[in-house]
Amino acid sequence: MSHHLPETKIPAPCIINTGVIVSKLDMRRLLTDLSRVHYVYIFDGTVQSEGDGDVMEVFANPQRSTLVANHTLYLNVCSFDYLELQQTPEKETHFDLVQEGWRLRLIPLSTPSQERRGTINVTAIEAMMEQVLSARWDAEFDDDSSEMF
């Protein structure tokens, strides 16, 4: 006699602002949106180091290190057991990358939408400058051409 258990699909987790993420892919997806952060390196509950920096790269490679130096962060999700999402009393989310007795806390100094707005503004300004310079060069070319006759 064989008993067949019904196939039940467990839904994927839904984590909103607080929780623990163990999937390296999900960790990477969350961290990739970070740009400028305040970081705090905590060992056994004691702050060892902190500062501000730019997240330059987020990757998953067991052969490479996580590096924090010169106000830049290169984050390897394989360096950590899990990512813990927490909120401050002001409802600001921060990210704790945890490995045994230590954690690297990342506090975003800007949001992804703020970063995109900044990029859009720079791009728009560059496009306008290109148009202005192009129009000026066209006008100078036209002036030079009319003097020939």
pLDDT, mean of residues 83-95: 93
Residue 149, pLDDT above cutoff 60: no
pLDDT, mean of residues 124-143: 71
- Cβ neighbour number for residue 31 with a 10 Å cutoff: 21
Q: Label residue 132 by pLDDT band (50, 70, 90).
A: confident
pLDDT, mean of residues 127-134: 76
Looking at residue 148, its pLDDT comes to 55
- Cβ neighbour number for residue 62 with a 10 Å cutoff: 8
* CB-count burial class (<10 Å; 0-12, 13-18, 19+) for 75: buried
More confident residue, 96 or 141: 96
Segments of the chain assigned E as strands: 19-21, 36-43, 46-59, 67-69, 72-76, 82-87, 93-99, 102-108
Looking at residue 40, its pLDDT comes to 98
The pTM of the full predicted model, rounded to 2 decimals, is 0.70
- In 33-52, which positions are buried (b, 16+ CB within 10 angstroms) versus exposed (e)? ebbebebbebeeeeeeeeee
Looking at residue 131, its pLDDT comes to 79
Q: At 53, list the tokens.
A: 């920096």
Residue type, 77: V
Alpha helices in 12-111 (DSSP H): 24-32
Q: How confident is the prediction for the chain on average, in pLDDT?
A: 86
* CB-count burial class (<10 Å; 0-12, 13-18, 19+) for 109: middle
Cα 32 from Cα 120, distance rounded (Å): 19
pLDDT, mean of residues 76-82: 98
Looking at residue 119, its pLDDT comes to 55
